[in-house]
Amino acid sequence: MTDENQAGEASGDDAQARYGSGPRLSPALIATLVAIPAMVIVGFITFAALRPDPSTPIESYASDEAAPADCDKLIAALPQTFDGFGDKQVTGTTVTWSSDGDTDPVTLRCGISRPDELSPTSNLQVINPVQWFITDTVEGAGQAYVCVDHRPYVAMWIPENAGNAPITDVSAVIDQTLPRAPLDFG
């Protein structure tokens, strides 16, 4: 062997020792191994960005079809704005007031069915003489109330940090526009 061949073999041995002696991965396999995790990450980001806003519990409450006329009177009498909330939007018997800030909207649904959980031992809150039953509390999001001493039943979603103005103002309107009724425990 010549000195040149020995030098070439030595540098080949050095390269083999340096880069490993196993088979090389094809560029297509490397591209696939990089692309799949990247596509999964992009998919999760897209899903998070495009998912709808979380709904409020009152959207799932059953409706009482017998109440539209009284609901129309109530909805017409509701204020256009509250402190920090404006832009009253009406869709059927659902009313929303959007927030001026980051808070979720205040939502009201008129004409829902009697809450099944309402019982003689239920804890009620009296606001501007309307009795409200707290049906759902979503930690970090807000509370759902149902007016139980006027007909038709009215549900209201109050987002966290909304204050008392929305439920106080709505209570006064309910007392002026909807007929009082005895508590119905089923």
User: What's the whole-number average pLDDT of the chain?
Assistant: 85
The residue with greater pLDDT, 118 or 8, is 118
Rounded Cα–Cα distance for residues 181 and 141 (Å): 31
Average pLDDT over residues 139-147: 92
pLDDT tens figures, 92-128: 999 999 987 778 899 999 999 999 999 999 999 999 9
Average pLDDT over residues 77-90: 91
Do the beta carbons of residue 74 and residue 177 sit within 8 Å?
yes
Rounded Cα–Cα distance for residues 154 and 82 (Å): 18
The total number of residues shown for the chain amounts to 186
Task: Note if the bond before 152 is cis, omega within 30 degrees.
Answer: yes
Per-residue model confidence (pLDDT) at position 92? 92
- Count Cβ neighbours within 10 Å for each residue of 87-126 and write b for 16 or more, e otherwise: ebeeeebbbbbebeeebbbbbbbbbbebbeebeeeeebee
Q: How confident is the model at residue 46 (pLDDT cuts 50, 70, 90)?
A: confident
Nearest one of 1, 184, 174 to 74, comparing CA atoms: 174
Q: How confident is the model at residue 52 (pLDDT cuts 50, 70, 90)?
A: very low
Tokens of 12: 């080949």
Give yes or no for residue 11 having a pLDDT over 70.
Answer: no
Edge-first strand order for the sheet with 94-99 is: 85-91, 94-99, 106-112, 153-159, 142-147, 130-138, 124-127
Tokens of 114: 């009697």
Q: How confident is the model at residue 159 (pLDDT cuts 50, 70, 90)?
A: very high
Is the pTM here over 0.75, yes or no? Answer: no
Per-residue model confidence (pLDDT) at position 18? 60
Residue position matching structure tokens 């998070």: 48
Amino acid at 1: M
